[in-house]
Structures are given as C-alpha cells and as structure tokens.
C-alpha cells in the first residue's frame, strides 16, 4: 500500500504541470464539457501507465527498442502536434451551450485516443519510470512496482478530474467570440510546442 500511495502522489505531481496535454484538456473541457475534458486526460494517464507497466514488468527488449526509435517516435509526435494546431485553429467557435443546442457532439473514443497517441510519442517515459523504481529501491516485475504504476495512473486521473472539474465551472461563461480566441491561442501554443519538438528531434537526429 505504501508504493500505491507514493504512486498516487507521484502521478498527481507529474500530471499537474500544464503542457500540450493540459492545454488540450482545458480547451476540450471549455468546448465540450467536463466529461470530455476528463476523458482527454485519461488518455494521457493510460499512456503513462502503459509505459510504466513495461518498466515495471522488466520488458527490456520492448523498452530498448522504443528508446532506440525514440527520435522517430518523437518526430511523429511533433507532426501530430502541428496537425492538432491546424485542427484547433479551424475548430467550431460555438460555445458549449450553442454546440449542445445545435446537436454537435464529439467522440469520447477520439478524444481519448488523441491524448493517448500524443503521450505515447514520448517513449523516454520508460526511462523515467526505471529511474523512479531505482530511486525507490523497487525491483522490476515486483508487486511494489505494479502498485506504483497503478498509483501513478490513479494520481494522474485524479489530477485530470480536478482540472476538468475546475475548468468546467467556467464553461458557461465562455461565449462563442471568446471560444474563437481560445481556439486561436490554443492553436498557436500547440504549434509552438510542435515546432520546438520538431527542432529538438532533428537536432538529435543530425
């Protein structure tokens, strides 16, 4: 249970800094509601748990392969961020209430899959988990390592629940004009993340 509790605290702390995933969660919550925002965050939490599980089970062959191919995987992530920036810029500017009245609905699976795929493009997460296990003197394929990964997932999910719930309180205050500005700003920030990630990837390749 000690490893589980530590994992929850760790997962909450890892998820809290606002990056591209946090930005997507906030924008999704504002445009589609708290449920979609939470599902968006769960995609990231699931990806972290998947990489954590590889490290916890000591699957070194798969881990080494992903790390060796990390530059190309990161390249996919950078291009995906740029694509998301394009999609966000052209997204409907209707407020959540207007979207509801117009019958516009999103897909939970697509929302979940977007952040899942984006988070999976950072395979070096495995290295982070391996370092955490070593720092806590937890061996791979042990009960404590599995509990730690489960705790990280729960802690991360707790943060996304908190974030989407808090941002959701502002949802009804967002007009279609303000939503358009939020979309534009979000697109620019996502584009910035994507271009910077692209630069780092090519710098590492050459």
The answer to whether residues 37 and 167 touch, using CB atoms and an 8 Å cutoff, is: yes
pLDDT tens sequence across 54-95: 877 776 677 777 777 778 888 888 898 999 898 888 766 555
Return the structure tokens found at 106. 């999103």
pLDDT tens sequence across 153-203: 999 999 999 999 999 888 777 777 878 888 888 889 989 988 988 888 887
Return the structure tokens found at 33. 């509601």
| CA gap 148, 19 in Å, rounded | 23
Domain count for the chain, please give it: 1
**Range(s) of the domain holding residue 92:** 2-205
Q: How many alpha carbons fall within 13 Å on the CB side of residue 136?
A: 22
Confidence of residue 103 (pLDDT cuts 50, 70, 90): very low
The answer to whether residues 32 and 96 touch, using CB atoms and an 8 Å cutoff, is: yes
| CA gap 27, 90 in Å, rounded | 13
Using a cut of 0.85, tell me whether the model's pTM lies above it: no
């Amino acid at each position: 249970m000690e490893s589980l509790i530590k994992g929850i605290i760790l997962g909450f702390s890892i998820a809290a800094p606002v990056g591209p995933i946090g930005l997507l969660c906030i924008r999704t919550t504002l445009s589609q509601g708290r449920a979609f925002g939470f599902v968006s965050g769960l995609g990231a939490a699931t990806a972290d748990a998947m990489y954590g599980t590889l490290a916890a089970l000591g699957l070194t062959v798969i881990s080494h392969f992903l790390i060796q191919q990390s530059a190309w995987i990161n390249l996919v992530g950078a291009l995906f961020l740029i694509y998301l920036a394009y999609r966000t810029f052209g997204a409907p500017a209707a407020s959540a209430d207007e979207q509801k009245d117009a019958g516009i609905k999103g897909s939970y699976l697509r929302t979940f899959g977007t952040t899942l795929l984006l988070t999976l493009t950072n395979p070096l997460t495995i290295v982070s988990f391996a370092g955490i296990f070593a720092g806590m003197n937890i061996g791979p394929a042990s009960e404590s390592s599995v509990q730690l990964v489960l705790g990280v997932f729960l802690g991360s999910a707790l943060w996304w629940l908190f974030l989407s719930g808090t941002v959701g309180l502002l949802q009804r205050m967002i007009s279609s004009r303000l939503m358009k500005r939020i979309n534009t700003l979000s697109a620019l920030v996502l584009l910035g993340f994507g271009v910077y990630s692209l630069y780092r990837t090519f710098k590492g390749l050459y």
